[in-house]
A and B are shown apart, each in its own frame.
Chain A
């Protein structure tokens, strides 16, 4: 019932508006169309100036409101490159934006019709057109050059000694896998998957799988200053590893393994003091539409020092051991070797 009333109200407002605005047509007829149009055109001409001023003030105001809400600086080396490029691109596009928007509104105001005048027949100028073809071309060349330089660094092979971690998406959570003491991620195949004791489908015939550590909630632990390479995959549909603080992202595609590497620059603790937010946490978000739980596909990333990382690793049990307790008399006898840096 209230819905009907609302519809009725909206229609009523429209009808009133329409009737009121028809009266302007009547006023026009009384004043004479020509004079009325002239007056209106002048008002609208000035309104272009007002609109431009409001536009610019709005932008400044929006900027002031938004900046305190924005995250901290990029937390990875590639991210810092991104931040630099973003700034350059912003300066280029920002100046073009201001110039062209200003001209658009200024011309609209300046050249509003005030009466009949002989039109300025200006249909062509090779010189002008060459200028504004070549200037954007040069600007583009610069942006492409710095862009590709950064792009090829980011997508180059990961440096030797980079930590390898596998991150696998599934509806609707992440699973991470660490190589264990042998520094090697063992083979896996999707037909081996079962939810009970082999969530990634590791191939137990491959010895390298035996010491692999699986974290079912996808928690990622990086070491500050140490390059990390993510081996990305998916169990079902396409997901995307979105690392907004590191300014990186890569799709997780079933049947294909994609990679991404970077060097984290700040530990989680450092970020807490940097942002002044005691709850700060690096988050991994799924950035590719993957179904109804897409928005909840979150994993935590912890960046820590080497010592903290080693201590954490020491406490982990390999996935094989966890799931085959009978082969390893309790308590888990063989502590996983931890010092992965010295190999």
Chain B
């Protein structure tokens, strides 16, 4: 394979693993800056490209939420900062409702797709799959590079849509037609919506290129001895994440293409019997509900595309830093599979109140609540993993623990929303906002932060600053609950989401003071994230250097590479695997872990 051929040069020069060496030391053939850092085919560089792009989008999306929280918390006041950033969309410091909806829409879109899909699974699938299964790179480094560049272009298109006169898409991240199909319906449904659809289409391409690559790599390129049941749980999670993506993203693409047809080719897939802007449109016979089915057929698996990598990384990190094997490895794998299968069978629980058949709704209630079972198994297994452990409160461990706490809190409220008779009231209220932000927003972010702090030493050969990490954890953990916990109450009171101003509503205006408090907390948490970003970038150059190739004393294969692995990962031959990834036990020499590449001792039973 050409892949092997290009990488072969590294094999020739075996290095001593124990010593640190600068990353350029073994780059014997000169690589141009462009091919090394920009159009790189090294999965490690590509993963960092995904991560840094994700960080960029997280700041943009986070800043948007600060802006609309200013409006929600202080609807009477004006803010200079709004005019500074939004220009004419916030004349005299007062945000225009069109822009408010534009910001909420783009906030949702970029955080779900660009940050928690591209930035999370793009980063860690790329980084960890070859390193943890013992491969020199992805099955196709070239497609992998394309995957990033489609992602980048999707981002450019989305970013561009923020600057056009009619503003970005503003129909909510779900962009339901007819609102999103007719440019007369709102300003954001003009050019902004076209750009949104194009950007999504590019993102789907990126996601498919990446996903196929991940699946092929995991199935075909594991090193000798790395059977499927010896894979770390991270890899299982990435595998099923990729499967979910490959099977569901094409459906989103079809939804987007049909919507483009309705917008520009005069078709009526989603349109029927509409009177708009003073005239009756000719479209008859379509159904807006069709779009919702197509959208949620991706949309629901999408939340597991976000959650599974976070779950996988949390499992790995909880085990490593508790110095205990993950409890119930097989059950963990089966629950990932169970979640993957169920993810495709529950989409219509987003549509209980669309007027669809109540019987069908009933079926979806049953299937939806089934997801609670694998989720509960995972939670109890995590708890048992730390039980009787020897817990080191490193920053990644704190984030992994925070992940479990948030996953429990957010997961349980899913039992309310998944039950149609409760959803009939709670649907589209702040209860939903609280639920999904905790369970797939913040908790997935916690998984991602845990992963970043844990694998940063592998990425850059340095540690991130600990103290800032601890500050980041405590502010974010407490802040997230302060922001989202009270929203449950607002939702129970029926307060609808996507409202620009509540002050005219007798039923909801009593929450004004609370909304202020939430907004202030959101701003504080936002600055804590900037602190993280600062820590991330400064530590690349200033962080404490890693001196031990296995700083966390972990078992998985990535820690057998040099501190700063070059393209090809291992200088010598790829290590052979002899045991599962969770042998945290007495190694007979006073140590408490046995890495995967250490052969079984005489009489030792493999797990």
Q: Once the chains are docked, how many angstroms separate the CA of A112 from the CA of B370?
A: 34
**In the complex, which of the residues B271, B330, B355, B530 contacts A124, with contact meaning CB atoms closer than 8 Å?**
B330
**Which chain B residues in 327-379 approach chain A with CB under 8 Å?**
327-331, 353-355, 358, 361-362, 365-366, 369-370, 372-373, 376-377, 379
Q: Report yes or no: A235 in contact with B275, Cβ–Cβ below 8 A.
A: yes
A137 and B274 within 8 A (CB):
no
For chain B, the count of residues having a C-beta within 8 Å of the partner chain is 134
Q: How far is the CA of A85 from the CA of B586 in the complex (A)?
A: 50
Inter-chain contact A154/B424, CB cutoff 8 Å: yes
Residues of B within 8 A of A314 (CB): none
B166 part of interface (Cβ distance < 8 Å): no
Contacts of A253 in B (CB 8 A): 288-289, 354-355
Q: How far is the CB of B166 from chain A (nearest CB, A)?
A: 12
Say whether A223 faces chain B, with CB atoms less than 8 Å apart: no
Task: Please tell me if B4 contacts chain A, counting CB pairs below 8 Å.
Answer: no
Tell which of B379, B404, B474, B607 touches A123, judged by Cβ atoms closer than 8 Å.
B607
Say which one of A126-134, A158-166, A202-210 lies at the interface with B.
Answer: A126-134
Residues of B within 8 A of A97 (CB): 408-409, 412
Query: Which A residues, 43 to 64, have Cβ-Cβ distances below 8 Å to chain B?
Result: 44-45, 48, 51, 54-55, 58-59, 62
Which single member of A22, A70, A107, A235 contacts B383 (CB below 8 Å)? A107
Is residue A248 contacting chain B, with contact meaning CB distance below 8 A?
yes
| Selected contact of B391 from candidates A58, A113, A240, CB within 8 Å | A113
A323 touches B (CB below 8 Å): no
Min distance, Cβ A55 to any Cβ of chain B, angstroms: 7
Q: Please pick, from A10, A117, A148, A298, the residue contacting B505 in the complex, using a CB distance under 8 A.
A: A298
Known: A45-B393, A292-B186. A70 touches B492 (CB 8 A): yes
**By the criterion CB–CB under 8 Å, are B413 and A190 in contact?**
no
What is the minimal beta-carbon distance from A140 to any residue of chain B, in angstroms? 5
Q: CA A118 – CA B498 in complex, angstroms?
A: 53
With contact pairs A132-B376, A236-B274, A289-B172 given, residues A104 and B404 touching in the complex (Cβ less than 8 Å): yes
Distance in angstroms between the alpha carbons of A125 and B328 in the assembled complex:
7
Q: Say whether B570 faces chain A, with CB atoms less than 8 Å apart.
A: no
Report whether B275 and A193 are in contact in the complex, using a CB–CB cutoff of 8 Å.
Answer: yes
Please determine whether A283 and B507 come into contact, CB atoms closer than 8 angstroms.
yes
Given contacts A93-B416, A289-B179, A291-B186, contact A255 B383 (CB under 8 A): no
Nearest-CB distance from A237 to chain B (Å)?
A: 4
Q: Which of B462-493 contact A (CB under 8 A)?
A: 465-468, 470-471, 474, 477-478, 481-482, 485-486, 489, 492-493
A235: chain B residues within 8 A (beta carbon):
274-276
Q: Is the CB of A108 within 8 A of B401?
A: yes
* Min CB–CB distance B125 → chain A (angstroms): 26
Asked if B425 and A248 make an inter-chain contact with CB atoms under 8 angstroms apart, the answer reads yes
CA distance A155 to B389 in the complex (A): 51
B562 within 8 A of A: no
Chain A nearest CB, measured from B508 CB (Å)? 8
A181 at the interface (CB under 8 A from B): no
Q: What residues on A are CB-neighbors of B355 within 8 Å?
A: 232, 250-251, 253, 256, 258-259
Stretch from B29-37, B214-222, B240-248, B317-325 forming part of the interface with A = B317-325
Q: How far is the CA of A232 from the CA of B373 in the complex (A)?
A: 37
A45–B288 CA distance with the chains assembled, in angstroms: 53
The answer to whether B176 touches A238, judged by C-beta atoms less than 8 angstroms apart, is yes
Least CB separation from A239: chain B residue: B179
**B390 and A113 contact, CB distance less than 8 A:** yes
Cβ-based interface call for B140 (8 A): no
A242 close to B415 (CB less than 8 A): no
Interface residues of B in 414-451 (CB under 8 A from A): 415-416, 419-422, 424-425, 427-429
Known A140-B372, A148-B362, A287-B427: A238·B288 in contact at CB below 8 Å: yes
Instruction: Contacts A122-B324, A251-B355 given; indicate if A96 touches B428 (C-beta within 8 A).
Output: no
* Residues on the A chain within 8 Å of B485, using CB: 58-59, 62
How far, in angstroms, from A280 to B509 measured CA to CA in the complex?
12
- B499 an interface residue at 8 Å Cβ cutoff? yes
Q: Answer whether residue A81 sits at the interface, using C-beta atoms and an 8 A cutoff.
A: yes
B585 within 8 A of A: yes
Min CB gap A166→B, angstroms: 14
Contact with A along B370-413 (1 / 0, CB 8 A): 10110011011101101111111100001001001100110011
Q: Mark A1-17, 1 if CB is under 8 A from B, else 0.
A: 01100000011001001
Q: Identify the closest chain A residue to B496 (Cβ).
A: A287
Instruction: Give Cα distance in the complex from A295 to B386, angstroms.
Output: 47
Residue among A66, A117, A170 with the most chain B CB within 10 A?
Answer: A66
Contact B534 A96 (CB under 8 A): no
Q: Which residue of A lies closest to B489 (CB)?
A: A66
B592 engages A116 (CB within 8 Å) = yes
- Is residue B97 contacting chain A, with contact meaning CB distance below 8 A? yes
Contact between chains at B465 and A14 (CB < 8 Å): no
- Decide yes or no whether A331 CB sits under 8 A from chain B: no
Q: Closest Cβ of chain B: how far from A295's Cβ, in Å? A: 4
Beta-carbon contact of A111 and B322 below 8 Å: yes
- Chain B residue, CB-CB nearest to A23: B467
Tell me the B518-569 residues at the A interface (CB within 8 Å).
527, 530-531, 534-535, 538, 542, 544
What is the bound-complex CA distance between A37 and B531, given in angstroms? 23
Tell me whether A143 and B176 are in contact (CB under 8 A): no
Choice from B170, B390, B422, B531 contacting A86 with Cβ under 8 Å: B422
Q: Inside 8 A of B498's CB, which chain A residues have their CB?
A: 289, 294-295
- The answer to whether A116 and B590 touch across the interface, beta carbons within 8 angstroms, is yes
Asked if B393 and A82 make an inter-chain contact with CB atoms under 8 angstroms apart, the answer reads: no
Candidate in B80, B398, B419 with the most chain A CB atoms within 10 angstroms: B419
Q: Is there an interface contact between B391 and A111, defined as CB atoms closer than 8 Å? A: yes
- Give Cα A58 to B413, complex, Å: 18
- From known contacts A93-B412, A238-B179, A249-B424, infer whether A111 and B362 are also in contact, taking CB-CB under 8 Å: no
Q: How far is the CA of A189 from the CA of B272 in the complex (A)?
A: 12
Name the A residues within 8 Å of B506 (CB-CB).
279-281, 283
Contact (Cβ within 8 A) A100 B325: no
Chain B residues within an 8 Å CB radius of A120: 324, 388-389
CA distance A22 to B542 in the complex (A): 10
Asked if A289 contacts B415 (CB within 8 A), the reply is no
Min CB distance B316 to A, Å, is 15
Q: Which residue of B lies closest to A81 (CB)?
A: B421
Question: Complex: how many Å from CA A154 to CA B197?
Answer: 37
Task: Please tell me if the beta carbons of A93 and B274 are within 8 angstroms of each other in the complex.
Answer: no
Q: How far is the CB of A13 from chain B (nearest CB, A)?
A: 9
Contact B504–A107 (Cβ < 8 Å)? no
Does chain B have a CB within 8 A of A325? no
A111 touches B388 (CB 8 A): yes
| B331 proximity list for chain A (CB < 8 A) | 129, 133
**B225 on interface, CB distance cutoff 8 Å:** no
Query: Given A101-B405, A123-B325, A281-B506, A151–B421 Cβ distance below 8 Å?
Result: yes
Determine whether the beta carbon of B179 is less than 8 Å from that of A290: yes
Assess whether A249 is in contact with B428, with CB atoms less than 8 Å apart. yes
Question: What residues of chain B have their CB less than 8 Å away from a CB belonging to chain A?
Answer: 80-81, 84, 97-98, 101, 170-172, 176-179, 182, 185-187, 271-276, 278, 280, 284, 286-289, 322-331, 353-355, 358, 361-362, 365-366, 369-370, 372-373, 376-377, 379-381, 383-384, 386-393, 398, 401, 404-405, 408-409, 412-413, 415-416, 419-422, 424-425, 427-429, 465-468, 470-471, 474, 477-478, 481-482, 485-486, 489, 492-502, 504-507, 510-511, 514, 527, 530-531, 534-535, 538, 542, 544, 582, 584-586, 590, 592-593, 607
5 A-B pairs with least C-beta separation? A244-B494, A255-B272, A258-B355, A21-B467, A155-B358
- In the assembled complex, 5 residue pairs joining A and B whose CB atoms fall closer than 8 Å, in A order, are A107-B383, A133-B376, A136-B373, A238-B179, A256-B288
